[in-house]
Chain A
């Protein structure tokens, strides 16, 4: 029992994909699909003289969260940056499509995103699979499936993972979690250092990091960086999943238009936090998870019925 209590406090950020699944779901409830023994791995990496992984860096399966049946997919951010590729992506797409097509399967999908985006060695397949995944998620949500993104890994959720997160029913993020489409280096390379200085870590983390995403409505729950933290966040989000209908879409459109209007003139995250009416925005960065989560629930922009 003591071990379990210690493990519940283990860092999500530091954990592997398999450890996260074990820490997130009810004890011994996970059954893996296409496990490592089946060796469903990349047919391309050996051409580049790169090592493959037996699961191509994605673990999929089913289990229970607080007694409720769920499907789960976890990206391994340490393997090739958790990238979307032919096999790794197809495993996630297949899982979401299965939920969409088979009502007897769990109608909840948890996506443990930890990805820099598309795997460059398999770029065409990777780009295609991101498009397929976004389509599958939207179709699944239309069919009544709840798709929840959990973001708090080392690779963050960039590129296709950022796009994928944006199509989900709900998003949970930790302080170490980062969500964006173009990464800091990409923005600097294309737009210049004046636009975004990727070496300025305080700027990068305050912009892409979990606290900012939560405050401006880009994430719906703030998780403490632990197994129990993400477990609690996932349970909270599952209790109230928005219907995927015209009303929600219109609310989302309105929310984003208002956000653009409100923050359009801000040049960094702190100025956005000031605009939100936060009295001491400079203090946000050092605020602990509990105080921050409480603050976020009091901010109007962070709490909406859209998405």
Chain B
């Protein structure tokens, strides 16, 4: 099992009132994303547990793009991966943010 950790300073805190949200399921080609509003300021930490090795650069590219576009400041995001493709990962991250942004 491979663990990847990324720390970012986002541009701003993510809007909304939700303290936590979970989206997706750990299944083949899918993943679950747990979002928790626990960090100060615009900090964002993302931790990924995946059984698939060799895709560190792909994960980094997806996470960089996600943080740039959605600015998930204040969130700790934890991912259990079931071998999801990058587009599925991005979709789940977007869905997770949409849940957190609810008032």
**Is A18 part of the contact surface with B, judged by Cβ < 8 Å?**
yes
Query: Is A54 within 8 A of B78, CB to CB?
Result: yes
Q: In the complex the two chains form, what is the Cα distance from A49 to B17 in whole Å? A: 36
Query: Is A52 within 8 A of B25, CB to CB?
Result: no
CB within 8 Å of B: which of A13-58?
A: 16, 18, 35-37, 46, 49-55, 57
Query: Is B1 within 8 A of A76, CB to CB?
Result: no
Closest Cβ–Cβ distance, residue A92 to chain B (whole Å): 18
**Is B49 part of the contact surface with A, judged by Cβ < 8 Å?**
yes
Q: Write the residues of chain B forming the contact surface with A, with a CB cutoff of 8 angstroms.
A: 1, 20, 22, 25-27, 30, 32, 34, 36, 49-51, 78, 80-82
- Nearest chain A residue, comparing its CB with the CB of B78: A54
Contact residue among A37, A76, A79 (Cβ-Cβ distance under 8 Å from B20): A37
Closest Cβ–Cβ distance, residue B20 to chain A (whole Å): 5
**Is A139 part of the contact surface with B, judged by Cβ < 8 Å?**
no
- With a cutoff of 8 Å between Cβ atoms, the chain B residues found around residue A79 in the complex are 25-27
Query: Is B78 within 8 A of A50, CB to CB?
Result: no
User: What is the total number of residues of chain A having a CB less than 8 Å from a CB of chain B?
Assistant: 18
Q: In the complex the two chains form, what is the Cα distance from A8 to B78 in whole Å? A: 30
Closest Cβ–Cβ distance, residue B40 to chain A (whole Å): 18
Query: Is B25 within 8 A of A51, CB to CB?
Result: no
- With a cutoff of 8 Å between Cβ atoms, the chain A residues found around residue B80 in the complex are 51-54
Query: Is B22 within 8 A of A51, CB to CB?
Result: no
Q: In the complex the two chains form, what is the Cα distance from A76 to B27 in whole Å? A: 10
Q: In the complex the two chains form, what is the Cα distance from A164 to B51 in whole Å? A: 32
Q: In the complex the two chains form, what is the Cα distance from A76 to B24 in whole Å? A: 11
Contact residue among B34, B36, B50 (Cβ-Cβ distance under 8 Å from A51): B50
Query: Is B34 within 8 A of A37, CB to CB?
Result: yes
Once A76-B25, A78-B27, A79-B27 are accepted as A-B contacts, the answer to whether A53 and B20 lie under 8 Å apart by CB is no
A-B residue pairs in contact (CB < 8 Å), sample of 7: A36-B34, A37-B34, A51-B50, A52-B26, A53-B26, A78-B30, A79-B27
Once A49-B51, A51-B82, A54-B78 are accepted as A-B contacts, the answer to whether A16 and B34 lie under 8 Å apart by CB is no
Contact with B along A69-90 (1 / 0, CB 8 A): 0000000101110000000000
Q: In the complex the two chains form, what is the Cα distance from A52 to B25 in whole Å? A: 10
Q: In the complex the two chains form, what is the Cα distance from A46 to B80 in whole Å? A: 12
Query: Is A54 within 8 A of B32, CB to CB?
Result: yes
Q: In the complex the two chains form, what is the Cα distance from A80 to B82 in whole Å? A: 11
Query: Is B1 within 8 A of A35, CB to CB?
Result: no
